[in-house]
Structure 1
Amino acid sequence: MKFKGSIEPNCDGFEELFEAVVSQLAGSETQLAVWLLQNNIDFSLIEPQPIGAESPFPASNSVLAGSSLLIKLDSSNVEKVVQLFTDNDRLGFEILHIEIEAKGFVQFAAYDHFSAVFFGHEISLEMLEALQSREIIEGYQIFDSNEL
């Protein structure tokens, strides 16, 4: 996968980071893949599709542990997805990995309970600066073009 950079999240800001990213990326062709420790969350309101360990996105070569689901992420379900994922500290504990694909590429990925977070070209530097100024993220790094 080719990412634009990485994010150093504030562990107290996972929910706000997730909400900002989901709100920015949601669209008719956007999909969210999630890997869970256990699939004991009621996802019935957002109609997920079960997937295997391999990422469903062609641009990703991830093979990840956990129970996994694919969720369409558009304006009709953003609020439901955000609430479901942010209730009861799920992002920090129950949710192992997240990949969000928009415009044919993985635009956001958080692995191992947000210990490694990456972003693509659809995440604006203005948004990252705003998140950093609000202390939702500690910082971010743009990869050298040679690393891409």
Structure 2
Amino acid sequence: MILGIGTDLANIDRIAGTLERFGDRFRNRVFTETEQRKADRRADTAGTYAKRWAAKEACSKALGTGLRMGIAWRDMAVHNIDTGQPMMVVTGWAIERLAGMTPPGHEAVIHVSLTDDHPWAQAFVVIEARPLAGTAQAVT
């Protein structure tokens, strides 16, 4: 079952300008060390940061809060599995919110899709509740 859906569109040039203007202050406030290492290794550093910015915005929307109610930028982080597929890791208030949304007998799975086409970066986040193994589900 779908618990939440979020999307966001970020302007790469705006993120590049923010990085230029605020540098580490911006990076450290919004992005985890893992996200910073990933972005700083890429040729399109600003585009990588913009996609992650959009993913955090989309995740906050899928959580049903937007960036309010105690959620922090660094409570949501985009990591990549070995194949390169992005995944969202949540901590802090975001994980508390996720647990509160997840019905008993289910686990939450956060799906992330990222894309960019200069000057735009876009993210979609879908939060799914999957029945836990061995949990009987009623069929209606």
TM-score (norm 1): 0.30
Higher RCO (C-alpha under 8 Å, 6+ residues apart): 1
TM-score (norm 2): 0.32
Q: Max radius of gyration: which structure? A: 2
